[in-house]
Structure 1
Amino acid sequence: MSPLRLLLAALLLGALAPDPAVPPATRALPESTGLSLMHRPGPGRADPPLRPNAEMVGDILDLAFALESGRPLSRLGRFEGPVRLTVAGPAPPSLMPDLDALLRRLRVEAGLDVALAGTGADGPEAAIVIEAVPKASLALAAPQAACFVVPNATSFAEFLRLRGSPLLDWEGITTRRRAAVFVPADAAPQEIRDCLHEELAQALGPLNDLSRLPDSVFNDDNMHSTLTGFDMLVLRVIHALPVGITRQEAAARLPDLLARLNPQGEQDGRPDAGRTAMARPDDDIDRREGLAHYALGRSRAARDPAAAQAAFAAAREHFRRSPLTAIHRAHAEMQLAAYALAAGDPDRVLFLTGEAIPTAEAHGNAALLATLLLLRAEALEAMGRGEEAAALRLDGLAWARYGFGRGEAVDARLREVQALNPWRMARSMAG
């Protein structure tokens, strides 16, 4: 395989992962690159869901009344009353600011009474414990999960002691009283934040994931990294339903409840003055076809770059047809920008990254945003706009510190992107 194909495969296949898929570079970045700086995504606020309420009824029922394994739940389970949390053990520096931002969003957008437990003796006892655990320990306990949540445990040590016990089975628990969320202690800040969003949302709400959802973190396609407007609505709805209600009883109540909590969703797909677009009936077909093309592109990136590029272009075309798949489209545009840079087409790189950068920033995806900015900087470098490129590269590296974490991981991503630039390679060989 040619060196260029290796580099493209490394960049493209590692695009969704917090850490690059190649070994770190042997030389650390000099301090003058600005590696010591780190940009942090803002707390954000998700837009309201764009789909009609009638469509979301079935999604909410399937999320709330089943486990990820597919096993059905006979009754709705959740916490009752105020929910207090605590963080156990030494937390990574990024965890508390991101947790504070998440709790604010849950209070404002989902209407939940959630907060950190006070330190005083009169404060309510923490119902949810968040513990940062080394990745290696998490992998031994749950090889398929980067992070996870369990009921009726207050520490990772207690979880290990209780493994195999019915106490850790969500089925049969209607009123939740205790839960523990385990996140990686030695991961990139973005990965830790993403774990907080998904696992805390599951502790407070639905335990299932659905592959059909285009606008949710309750979906293993990993496109959304933080709670969406749909997710916040799901949490608000679940906490408005009585604990212990059956699926049939919930199905009878949901239409009126959604009409009250999400009145814009009663428009049956017709946009109003405050909404630029609504979901179309064939959006799910486009999303599924786009994901199929995207997966094909990733699988062929190393062996057949031309076929991979065509697949990513087809994915982008499907994703661009709906506002529900804006972040999906941004991922496809990043892939295509990498190919354009390697092909010596800086104008195309600027166009594609210009389309994707606002979306990546709006969704708080620092890893994607950093890669887009670094690709754009290389295109500017190729066009002789060195000062603009240098400033943009510093910005990209600051986002990369949040998205990729370790200095060597940031260094590896920078070197991967720079190695795709034929003008840089030509100058290097001439020198």
Structure 2
Amino acid sequence: MAIALRRYYARVQEDLLAQGLLRLDGGGVDTPFTDEMLARNFERIALAEEYARGGGLQPSSGALGEIKKWNIPVRVGVTFGSSLSPEAQEQDRAVLSRYTRRLSRVTGHPISLVASQPNFHVLVMGEDDKDQLREMLDQIAPGMEASSRAIFLNLPRSIHCLVVAFADTRSSNAYRQAVALVRTEHPDLTRRACFHEELAQGLGLANDDQNARPSIFNDDEEFALLTTHDELLLKILYDPRLTPGMSADQARPIVRTLAQKLKGGGPS
């Protein structure tokens, strides 16, 4: 099973690269966007959810919800399954170290890779690590809903990676914990792309939108890594004027002002 998955994901990556996808440049002159586009994309990506809460992989209604974000320091910890080579583990740890520093710089929020007491767990595991994955979920997220747990343990082949973020209560929008799963069967670039998307989604950019460009929050796989556009989404989300639980109507004028400022066309 694991060998077949490695071959499959290697072919997927090769096919995407052959089509000119999985770009690493972050966007350029061929991907212009305005402050209005940025604000619209923020609404669709930060205020809607990809999946219905408690519904497993059931798509959400697409309705706009509330602002979701962390207001405590994000402590990222990574646990590797034994199916990933020591060399690849070292490489991935370096990727996560650089990326968490970048996320902290972009958001202005404390985000770091830690060796102990994490609250954002990144599990890099594959089909041959199921027993270890099951034990980790029991240890770090004993209260995880059965539907979410089942997905982690039986991830469909079409889902490359996954993150679930948790608040204190079901009605809260202030995150306190997150668990991400990245398959060891992925080739290096796809694992790196998963780290970029799942960590950013776990910070509160929870949805994908087909019209967002240049962005990794788009199922077309055009970009592999966090883009300049996506950095601006994170800057908006972690501006202190936006607080967890704020409705779309409450957030909209603030988002528009911030988008204008970030694109150089409006007041601070």
After TM superposition, the score normalised by the length of structure 2 is 0.68
Specify the code of the residue in structure 1 equivalent to 2:158.
Q
Q: Distance in 2 between matches of 1:255 and 1:58?
A: 9
The alignment status of 1:74 with 2:65, answered yes or no, reads yes
Counterparts in 2 of 1:58-207, with a 5 A limit?
58-68=40-50, 69-71=59-61, 72-90=63-81, 92-93=88-89, 94-119=91-116, 125-135=117-127, 140-152=154-166, 172-207=171-206
For 2:251, the equivalent position in structure 1 comes to 250
Over the matched positions of the two proteins, sequence identity in percent amounts to 23
Q: Distance in 1 between matches of 2:264 and 2:13?
A: 39
Runs (5+) with no aligned partner, structure 2:
1-10, 51-58, 131-151
List per-residue Cα deviations over 1:110-135 (Å, max 9, x = no partner).
3332101254xxxxx32100011115
1:76–1:85 distance in 2 versus 1, CA, 3 Å: same
Question: Which structure is richer in relative contact order (CA contacts within 8 A, separation 6 or more)?
Answer: 2
Q: Helix, strand or coil: the match of 2:121? A: strand
Q: Helix, strand or coil: the match of 2:212? A: coil
For 1:38, the equivalent position in structure 2 comes to none
List per-residue Cα deviations over 1:339-388 (Å, max 9, x = no partner).
xxxxxxxxxxxxxxxxxxxxxxxxxxxxxxxxxxxxxxxxxxxxxxxxxx
Report if aligned partners of 2:33, 2:213 keep a CA contact under 8 Å in 1: no
For 2:145, the equivalent position in structure 1 comes to none
Report if aligned partners of 1:52, 1:265 keep a CA contact under 8 Å in 2: no
Q: Distance in 2 between matches of 1:107 and 1:13?
A: 29
List per-residue Cα deviations over 1:226-269 (Å, max 9, x = no partner).
00011111111111111110000011211222233x14255xxx
Counterparts in 2 of 1:248-327, with a 5 A limit?
248-260=249-261, 262-266=262-266
Q: Distance in 1 between matches of 2:170 and 2:69?
A: 12
Q: Distance in 2 between matches of 1:45 and 1:221?
A: 15
Counterparts in 2 of 1:42-57, with a 5 A limit?
50-57=32-39
List per-residue Cα deviations over 1:310-336 (Å, max 9, x = no partner).
xxxxxxxxxxxxxxxxxxxxxxxxxxx
The offset of 1:55, in angstroms, is 2.2
C-alpha root-mean-square deviation of aligned residues, in Å?
3.2
Runs (5+) with no aligned partner, structure 1:
1-10, 19-40, 120-124, 153-166, 267-431
For 1:164, the equivalent position in structure 2 comes to none
Q: Distance in 2 between matches of 1:128 and 1:205?
A: 13
Report if aligned partners of 2:197, 2:226 keep a CA contact under 8 Å in 1: yes
Specify the code of the residue in structure 2 equivalent to 1:128.
F
1:215–1:143 distance in 2 versus 1, CA, 3 Å: same
Report if aligned partners of 2:164, 2:178 keep a CA contact under 8 Å in 1: yes
The structure in which a higher percent of residues are strand is 2
Report if aligned partners of 1:135, 1:187 keep a CA contact under 8 Å in 2: no
Size of the aligned set, in residue pairs, is 211
Report if aligned partners of 1:50, 1:265 keep a CA contact under 8 Å in 2: no
Report if aligned partners of 2:164, 2:180 keep a CA contact under 8 Å in 1: yes
Q: Distance in 1 between matches of 2:105 and 2:26?
A: 9
Q: Helix, strand or coil: the match of 2:97? A: helix
List per-residue Cα deviations over 1:28-47 (Å, max 9, x = no partner).
xxxxxxxxxxxxx99x8777
After TM superposition, the score normalised by the length of structure 1 is 0.44
Report if aligned partners of 2:26, 2:226 keep a CA contact under 8 Å in 1: no
Q: Distance in 2 between matches of 1:54 and 1:231?
A: 15
The structure in which a higher percent of residues are helix is 1
Asked which structure has the greater CA Rg, the reply is 1
